[in-house]
Structure 1
Amino acid sequence: MTSPVGLHRVLDPVGVLPQAAWRLDPYAPLGDDEVRIRVERLNLDAASFRQLSEKHGGDGAAVRAEVLEIIGDRGKMHNPVTGSGGMLIGVVDEVGPATPLPVKPGDRVATLVSLTLTPLVVEDGLAGWDGRGEQVPCTGHAILFARSVVAVLPEELDPRLSLAVLDVCGAPALTSRVVRGYRSPSVAVLGGAGKSGSLALAAARRAGAGRTVGVVPVPAERDRLAAAGLATEVVLADARDPVALAAAVTGALGGPADVTVVCVDVPGCEHGAILATADGGTVIFFSMATSFAAAALGAEGLAADVTMLVGNGYVPGHAELALDLVRQDTGVRALFEARVAAD
């Protein structure tokens, strides 16, 4: 008997949910409420790809070998260092008769659940991937459970563009929800030129933000974000330097931000985000590199009266909102198209 949350595919340790498991079974026969996807492309999350690339000094072949090893050992793409994975696109191959998921065979879809809980098999040895970009062309199959989330890809958008957008679609949706809870708030987005950061800035503006600031670490990103026109101000700062980050944000906004959104893919940014946020404000952590212990203890040590939210990647309507932003906001679309072209 299958479990709607995938317990039947957990091999080690038995009894935990698939995300917490060390190893899943992607080979068992398809359950009545499951869906099998013929995989076309993986999208590794930014924190995981950065960690692997830095570990191997940019050696793409070594990165590819380790990704294959992780998937082969664990039955899923679950980086044991960062604890993160990514998501995928593919074509629906078979649908169990009792699945509640709104898909049919032949649909090209994106999985909106993490690869850390998705049973996955790679069959081509990742031969079409050089190990130097987050998007990974491949062949194989993946399994979705009854409680999984999936979106049919829009026909008018390049599938690679859709994959990049849907990988981070939780960020703009939660940002929009939080911003709407304030009256014309000031918003700071750390990593504003990245995928989740640019969408968060666009969502904040649409949701009624007053002044916005995008924080980036290097001049090239500053110039790209300024050209996109997504933020009132764009500033250079190392998000790992709490004092410098807070000074950059308060200098640009005339005071601390009401809402701070953390979209960087490096550790050590928790204290700066808290210090840059006004009392009574909100910090949203979307980075998989976040240490939530550091965030909680840091806020306590700073006597910071801020609400801290974990972006869990799912908000009802998140896929539609993110795709709509890319369709309608030329600045966001330009940043994403440039990123996809470079990947």
Structure 2
Amino acid sequence: MGLHRVLSPPGVLPQAARRLDASPGLWPGETRLRVERLNLDAASYRQLREKHHGDGAAVRGEVLEIIRSRGKMHNPVTGSGGMLVGVVEEGPAFPAGTRVATLVSLTLTPLVVTSTSWDGRSEQIPCDGHAILFERSVAAELPADVPVPLALAVMDVCGAPALTERVVRQRRNPVVAVLGAAGKSGSLSLAAARRAGGRAVGVVLDEREAAAIEGLADEVVIADARDAVALSDLKADVTVVCVDVPGCEHAAILATRDGGTVVFFSMATSFSAAALGAEGLGADVTMLIGNGYAPGHADLALTLLREEPGVRAVFEERLR
């Protein structure tokens, strides 16, 4: 689990640590990767970009300082990180030379970045350095038929469609509302919901985003996902929150009928706001934290990318 890499505070797991030992020497069970590319999660990148008013150099500087000082990429404001692609140098997890994507957060992955050409203006960071996988760290070999930046973007959010599919299959012909439907996790969740037998309602901010999910959703609603009143008439059986800005908790709760389920995938979610908001509204809803891991999640997400042209179009547009 990587407890031996925790420098401070003592007794916590690597994800909760303030600082990790990211030295390249391996302990038993560990695997070292030569890092090629990082993918910051959407909430973290948005927070950094807004903090620095779009100044790419400042964003780059803060990201590199976080990694240097903490031994991992762990945004202290959002509490989130992202994931990476690298080539196995040594260790038992994969044969040396295998190109893999980590399916665990950068917030618990010991990481050193030695150089980068990144300009701070995108979520993906081409770079050189090394990272350490623990014995329980989840990773997957990259597919040969998908370009690395595209595969990295998909695998960064592959937990979303997997859990969406699981929840939707537990109900009979449910209405599934996806907030932030034109984003990466949102588009995958729409596709997964329809394949699992749900009627997919995509909630997007404007006409441009509505056009982006044409063909993926059975219905499109244009609204601000932070506007609780605007979404109160949806009465969805399942609401999936994929918006990368804070303040969507109460809208998601009101969009969901009594007895329904809300799945929070956004790292911008305030779970205290969600719990106390539901209590204050007298809302009888089950609320789930979107776990980034589910068995088969990477394969499912890549299948959706290959078989749903609308999903692939959303991802390729974001990578331009």
TM-score, normalisation: structure 2? 0.99
In structure 2, what is the equivalent of residue 181 of structure 1? Answer: 170
Given residue 213 of structure 1, which amino acid in structure 2 is its aligned partner?
V
In structure 1, what is the equivalent of residue 103 of structure 2? Answer: 112
State the alpha-carbon separation in 2 of the partners of residues 135 and 156 from structure 1.
Answer: 20
Given residue 25 of structure 1, which amino acid in structure 2 is its aligned partner?
D
Shift of 1:286: 0.1
Out of 145, 154, 160, the position equivalent to 1:171 is 160
**Alignment pair present for 1:241 and 2:220:** no
* Contact 2:240/2:262, CA 8 A, preserved across alignment: yes
**Alignment pair present for 1:285 and 2:264:** yes
Residues 1:334 and 1:182: Cα distance change in structure 2 (over 3 Å): same
Q: Could you say what the CA RMSD is over the residues aligned between the two structures, in angstroms? A: 0.8
* Contact 2:155/2:298, CA 8 A, preserved across alignment: yes
Kindly tell me the number of residue pairs found equivalent between the two proteins: 320
* Contact 2:263/2:289, CA 8 A, preserved across alignment: yes
SS at match of 2:10: coil
Out of 213, 218, 223, the position equivalent to 2:206 is 218
**Alignment pair present for 1:7 and 2:3:** yes
Shift of 1:218: 2.0
In structure 2, what is the equivalent of residue 253 of structure 1? Answer: none
Shift of 1:28: 5.3
Out of 298, 310, 313, the position equivalent to 1:334 is 313
In structure 2, what is the equivalent of residue 147 of structure 1? Answer: 136
SS at match of 1:163: helix
Q: Show the 5 A alignment for 1:1-343.
A: 5-27=1-23, 29-95=25-91, 99=92, 101=93, 103-124=94-115, 126=116, 128-209=117-198, 211-226=199-214, 229-247=215-233, 250=234, 256-340=235-319, 342=320
Shift of 1:246: 2.2
State the alpha-carbon separation in 1 of the partners of residues 83 and 220 from structure 2.
Answer: 30
Deviations 1:191-234 (A, max 9, x none): 0010000000000011111x2110111221111112xx110111
Given residue 129 of structure 1, which amino acid in structure 2 is its aligned partner?
W
* Contact 2:24/2:132, CA 8 A, preserved across alignment: no
Shift of 1:78: 0.2
* Contact 2:5/2:21, CA 8 A, preserved across alignment: yes
SS at match of 1:29: coil
TM-score, normalisation: structure 1? 0.92
Given residue 263 of structure 2, which amino acid in structure 1 is its aligned partner?
I
Percent identical residues: 73
State the alpha-carbon separation in 1 of the partners of residues 177 and 268 from structure 2.
Answer: 18
Shift of 1:42: 0.2
SS at match of 2:300: helix
Deviations 1:9-32 (A, max 9, x none): 000112100000000001152012
State the alpha-carbon separation in 2 of the partners of residues 66 and 220 from structure 1.
Answer: 31
State the alpha-carbon separation in 2 of the partners of residues 246 and 140 from structure 1.
Answer: 48
Residues 1:65 and 1:129: Cα distance change in structure 2 (over 3 Å): same
SS at match of 1:278: strand
Deviations 1:123-154 (A, max 9, x none): 01x3x111010001000000000010000000
State the alpha-carbon separation in 1 of the partners of residues 200 and 146 from structure 2.
Answer: 28
Could you list the runs of 5+ residues in structure 1 that have no partner in the other structure?
A: 251-255
Structure 1: 4+ residue segments shifted above 6 A: none
Deviations 1:45-92 (A, max 9, x none): 000000000000000000000001000000000000000000000111
- 314-323 vs 331-340, which deviates more? 331-340
SS at match of 1:52: helix
Deviations 1:243-289 (A, max 9, x none): 01224xx2xxxxx0000000000001000000000111100000000
